[in-house]
Structure 1
Amino acid sequence: MPQLQRRLTTTDAVVIGLGSMIGAGLFSAFAPAAAAAGSALLISLLLAAIIAFCNASSSAALAAQYPAAGGTYVYGRERLGPFWGFLAGWGFVIGKTASCAAMALTAAEYLLPAHAKPAAAAFAAALGAVNCVGITRTAKLARILLALTLAALAASLLAVWLGGASAPASVLPPAPLGVLQAAGLLFFAFAGYARIATLGEEVRDPQRTIPRAIPIALGIVVCLYFAVGSTLLVALGPGLAASSAPLADAVRAGGLPQLAPFAVIGAGLAALGALLALLAGVGRTTLAMARGRDLPAPLASVHPRLATPLRAELLITAAVVVLVLVTDLRGAIGFSSFGVLGYYAIANASALTLPRELRWFPRALPALGLAGCAVLAFALPWSSVLAGLVCFAIGAVIWARRHRKS
């Protein structure tokens, strides 16, 4: 049976991780997080970064030992048992398919707001096609989108700083729950490094490349997020919580509002970069679950010439196109965060079972990651928690029925 091919270098893996994280969080997560945490936003960002570092360490160690497509679906099966692997994969595929639709809509509403839904469907179809024809093309396009995004972001931040925008500071929240809830929402922004792990079967020298690529990508993004978060708080103050396009609003609030289009274009390109990497990651996890007989076997097919999981990619792309046409998923950040936190809780639990010689960190690190994921997940808005629990319960029932039949 044809297999995926190891074509990605360390630079390729870092770029894909950066594209996922920058697109997912910079232009979508700060406003709802600010509504929960107020001027304590940076404290929430620090908490999210600490938990993300724990998760990244666990994921890197596990990916080095199990360099196969599927990420925590594979790690959970190998270290904890088939049920926990299935739950991780289920939460990832369902939550991230919704995130794909949200990213497509975000890109369309920035770049073509008058025709958002058809444009979002076209973006999803086009990037899905890129993923279908080869991972090297995905990596090349990710590099282009990331370079353009960073250029637009740099222009936007310079416009805010040079324009002298400032606003009164917002009031600190009266209780720590708001800080925890915001940290859970901001965790959505860091989850892109999972793409590196889920593409583990296509990375060259994975025992060396993955443990290097994940912390490099995460470290760059943490620094960037703190710079952007600080800028938005200074420029917009309490208005950040109500903004649908905070970076563009921050530029308009200063003395150089004519540069606001850079923020708009940057947001659209960042969302497209995130969508590209998300589609690749969900497709590979779907492939892995089909190989494990947790999804229909035909989805385990790898195209003999393109070396891509063509059927899985086509299915996920079609699902995203349908979702963007029939519903509005801009409010899906909380649901996606719950699913991702559950996914990483299983990753940390898996890392706890690794012997000392297979990890370069103390057991306290994945233990902290596991506890942090649980706390942040249940600190999210109740509607997100409820939807996430229902999603995982449905998955558990499906697994139990398939297991009983087998």
Structure 2
Amino acid sequence: MTSTGVAAEGRGKGLARGQLGLIGSTVMGLASTAPVYSLVATLGFVITAVGFQAPIAFILAFVPMFFIAFAYRELNRAVPDCGTTFTWAAKAFGPRVGWLGGWGIAVAGIVVLANLAQIAGIYFWILLGQTELSQTVWVTTLTGVAFIVAMVFVSYRGIEIGERLQNVLLGVQYLALGLFVILSFISVLGSNPPAASVLPTLEWFNPLAFTSVDGFTESILLALFIYWGWDTCLALNEETKDPKTIPGRAALISTVVLVITYVLVTVAVMSFAGLDALADQDDVFLVVKDALFGPWAWLLVLAVLISAVSSTQTTILPTARGTLSMAVYNALPKRFATVHPKFRTPSFSTLVMGAVSVVYYVAMTMISENFLADSIYSLGLAIAFYYGLTGYSCVWYFRRELFATPFNFVYKFLFPLLGALALTAAFIKSAVDMLDPDYGYTVIWGIGGVFVIGIGSLLFGVVLMVVWSFFGASRPYFRGQSLNESTEVLVPEEDVVYGRSIDGGRV
């Protein structure tokens, strides 16, 4: 029987079952957001944009993410498929929209992996006290590639190994963040506070206190980025102990933990250092680490390194499973549906994900580090695209039952729609801003390079989709035969490897 038949019978895709509980799934969602790295990359610029309103900016940016998390939860309950947005959008809007949803996930994963590898390469040498090497491009690039290879190996060997590793890595991150918050408040509230310190006030949480519309918009768009990644726990749904409920709960828990984390750290760093020292800083932790941690300042450097490495591994997971699901339904060549007979992981998809990320990272670095930086700035477009598409898919997929109960109205209609509309607005606003030649570091064809990279990468997916549609193997998918609204998509009822049962018999 073909891969289509495997899916149709609800036998799953051969992934290992029962590997993650609620805690493990939540850890994967949190680790994938890279909380320490995300704060490093974003916090200084949010503070520059809105000053002391940074805490409320993070809270407001959390709202659409929280709403979209409900869309993920409800869709996962009905269709617990590791293809997530790809599968749900295809069932709601048809094969082409679904394909582009899967492509949006892949683009986001590939781009962010390159940046995570770069950060890991730089901070590895900073941790070792080798400042000169941390600024040597070829050294940091090779180091970053080594980290990608290592995390691909972990992902290839199995989700259980990855979970154990992430428990440790996430624990170190939250230890460092917890100490940072505690030491900051002890210093600020002590008898001899730093000269630049400021006592926090409720005005920092006033949504009406923003003084600039542009600053408000910029801060929200920046803050949206740091919440991205919690949906990894949904992509691992077929490998959880309760695929229909655990991933959705883990997604909601992850988003709540993240907003608490980001707000506490933001208040702590602004209270300790004030605004002037933090404005336009690429890394606010480097600004305050020595004054706050003294001889233990290396702990924050370690936390940034671990955060980048941790997210490298958890970013590989959803993309590999997304392409696995696409291949099962003939949306990609069937080779991508290969599952390792021993480790029960999407072996070919994982290796391809790693290889493409390495090539992209090295190519962007060789062309110009400015291109790599601008590709990161463009990442928000792909994120807003596939998150928003998930919200719309939820509304349309459940359209016949939206008003049957108050529960359905709120969680299948109102919240998903509001989240999708907010992310659509963010997408449009970002795209318009990115047209400006002064946006980012590069200019292409007279317009902002960030716009060209961001929109171009999404349109490249359209080209790939059209090319694949000409191949005979893709016809069941694009004709709506292998995946449509009525296709039964279930978690495995028995152990199955793509094309073979475990005992070697044909499926």
- TM-score, normalising length from structure 2? 0.74
Match of 1:111 among 97, 100, 124: 124
The one-letter code matched in structure 2 to 1:238 is D
The correspondence of residues 279-290 of structure 1 with structure 2, limited to 5 A, is 279-290=316-327
Secondary structure at the counterpart of residue 213 of structure 1: helix
The one-letter code matched in structure 2 to 1:34 is I
Partner residue of 1:129? Answer: 153
Larger radius of gyration: 2
Deviates more, 1:158-167 or 1:18-27: 158-167
Asked if 1 retains the 8 angstrom alpha-carbon contact of 2:152 and 2:354, the reply is yes
CA distance in 1: counterparts of 2:357 and 2:315, whole angstroms? 11
- The alpha-carbon deviation at position 233 of structure 1 amounts to 2.5
- The alpha-carbon deviation at position 38 of structure 1 amounts to 3.3
CA distance in 1: counterparts of 2:293 and 2:25, whole angstroms? 36
The one-letter code matched in structure 1 to 2:426 is L
Partner residue of 1:139? Answer: 163
- The alpha-carbon deviation at position 93 of structure 1 amounts to 0.4
The one-letter code matched in structure 2 to 1:284 is R
- The alpha-carbon deviation at position 386 of structure 1 amounts to 4.3
2:458 counterpart of 1:392: yes
2:92 counterpart of 1:42: no
Secondary structure at the counterpart of residue 231 of structure 2: helix
Match of 2:224 among 187, 212, 229: 187
Partner residue of 1:60? Answer: 73
Asked if 2 retains the 8 angstrom alpha-carbon contact of 1:166 and 1:236, the reply is no
Partner residue of 2:281? Answer: 243
- The alpha-carbon deviation at position 23 of structure 1 amounts to 4.8
Asked if 2 retains the 8 angstrom alpha-carbon contact of 1:156 and 1:259, the reply is no
RMSD over aligned Cα, in angstroms? 2.4
* Paired-residue identity, %: 23
Asked if 1 retains the 8 angstrom alpha-carbon contact of 2:69 and 2:252, the reply is yes
Secondary structure at the counterpart of residue 41 of structure 2: coil
The one-letter code matched in structure 2 to 1:278 is T
CA distance in 2: counterparts of 1:256 and 1:215, whole angstroms? 33
The correspondence of residues 131-210 of structure 1 with structure 2, limited to 5 A, is 131-164=155-188, 165=194, 167=196, 174-210=211-247
CA distance in 1: counterparts of 2:416 and 2:181, whole angstroms? 35
Asked if 2 retains the 8 angstrom alpha-carbon contact of 1:198 and 1:285, the reply is yes
Partner residue of 2:391? Answer: 348
Asked if 2 retains the 8 angstrom alpha-carbon contact of 1:160 and 1:256, the reply is no
Asked if 2 retains the 8 angstrom alpha-carbon contact of 1:190 and 1:218, the reply is yes
The one-letter code matched in structure 2 to 1:151 is L
CA distance in 1: counterparts of 2:215 and 2:296, whole angstroms? 33
- The alpha-carbon deviation at position 224 of structure 1 amounts to 0.5
The one-letter code matched in structure 1 to 2:310 is G
Partner residue of 2:112? Answer: 99
- The alpha-carbon deviation at position 130 of structure 1 amounts to 0.2
- The alpha-carbon deviation at position 166 of structure 1 amounts to 6.2
- The alpha-carbon deviation at position 48 of structure 1 amounts to 1.2
2:50 counterpart of 1:12: no
Deviations 1:130-169 (CA, angstroms, capped at 9, x unpaired): 0000011111111110111111222233333334446488
CA distance in 2: counterparts of 1:212 and 1:264, whole angstroms? 32
Deviations 1:375-399 (CA, angstroms, capped at 9, x unpaired): 2223334144443222222222332
Asked if 2 retains the 8 angstrom alpha-carbon contact of 1:279 and 1:317, the reply is yes
Secondary structure at the counterpart of residue 27 of structure 1: helix
CA distance in 2: counterparts of 1:330 and 1:4, whole angstroms? 35
Deviations 1:185-206 (CA, angstroms, capped at 9, x unpaired): 2211111111011112212212
- TM-score, normalising length from structure 1? 0.92
Cα 1:80/1:244, change in 2 over 3 Å: same
The correspondence of residues 17-32 of structure 1 with structure 2, limited to 5 A, is 17-21=29-33, 22-23=35-36, 25-32=38-45
Asked if 2 retains the 8 angstrom alpha-carbon contact of 1:156 and 1:262, the reply is no
Secondary structure at the counterpart of residue 339 of structure 2: coil
Partner residue of 1:260? Answer: 297
Partner residue of 1:82? Answer: 95
Partner residue of 1:313? Answer: 350
Number of equivalenced pairs: 404
Which runs of 5 or more residues in structure 2 are unaligned?
Answer: 4-12, 127-132, 134-138, 189-193, 199-203, 435-447, 476-507
Q: Which has the higher helix share?
A: 1
Partner residue of 1:367? Answer: 417
CA distance in 2: counterparts of 1:168 and 1:136, whole angstroms? 44
CA distance in 1: counterparts of 2:451 and 2:55, whole angstroms? 23
